[in-house]
Amino acid sequence: MFGALVGAIIGAVVYYAAPPPFRAQATVNVDFNLEQAWPKETDRQQFYYLERESRKLEEIAWSDEVLGRLSSEFGIPVEELRRGKLQLSQPAEAGWHFYADDDDLQFAASLVTTWAEAFVAETEADVASGTINEFVRLEATQSESIAKERSIPLSSYLLAGSIGFLMLAIFALLFIKPNNK
C-alpha cells in the first residue's frame, strides 16, 4: 500500500513538473436532415447516406483548404497539424468535437476555434456548389467559451505512478532476498 501512495506522489510530481499540453475543444452541430433527404426510402439507404455524407465532411475537416487556412494564419505546417496537433472526434450526426493540443492555452483555443469555423465555412461553400447534399446544416455551437483542459488528466498520472511503483515494490519483495546473517 505504501508503494502505491509513493507512486501516486511521484506521478503528481511528474504531472506538475512536466505537464501535458492543454486541449481546447470546439463543437460543430451537424444535422443531415435525414427526414427531408430520404423521406420514403429504406433504412439501408438512409444508413448509406449518413455514412457517405459523414465521410465527405470528415474529408473536408482534414482537407488541404481548411488546414491551409490554419497553417497560413498560425504559421504551423499542415503536416504538424495532421500529426496530432489537431484531433477530430468520431464523426456522426449531431456534435462533432474538434480538439487542438498546445502548451499555450490561448493558442490552442484560437487554433481550434479557427478550425471549426473554417470547417463550417468550407462545408457551406460545398453545400452551395452541390458537392454536399443540400439538406446538410452546420452550426458552430461551441466556439466562444470552449472547453480547455489538459490533454491528459492528473488522475492518469496518479494511477500510472501508483501501479508502476506498486509493481516495482512487489518485484523488489519477490526477487530481492534480504541478507540474513
Q: Give the domain extent around 113.
A: 21-150
Q: Whole-prediction pTM value?
A: 0.78
Same domain flag for 109 and 121: yes
Q: What is the model's pLDDT at position 81?
A: 92
DSSP for the chain, written as a single string: -HHHHHHHHHHHHHHHHSPPPEEEEEEEEEE--HHHHSTT--HHHHHHHHHHHHHHHHHHHTSHHHHHHHHHHH---HHHIIIIIEEE----SEEEEEEEEESSHHHHHHHHHHHHHHHHHHHHHHHHHTSS-TT-EEEEEEEEEEEEEESS-HHHHHHHHHHHHHHHHHHHHHH------
* CATH number (domain holding residue 90): 3.30.70
Same domain flag for 65 and 97: yes
Total domains present in the chain: 2
Spans in the chain with pLDDT lower than 70: 36-44, 92-93, 143, 145-147, 181
Same domain flag for 159 and 127: no
Same domain flag for 132 and 179: no
Same domain flag for 84 and 139: yes
Same domain flag for 15 and 39: no
Same domain flag for 120 and 157: no
Same domain flag for 61 and 130: yes
Q: What is the model's pLDDT at position 77?
A: 93
Same domain flag for 140 and 177: no
pLDDT tens digits, 143-176: 676 667 888 889 999 999 999 988 888 888 888 8
Same domain flag for 96 and 178: no
Same domain flag for 119 and 133: yes
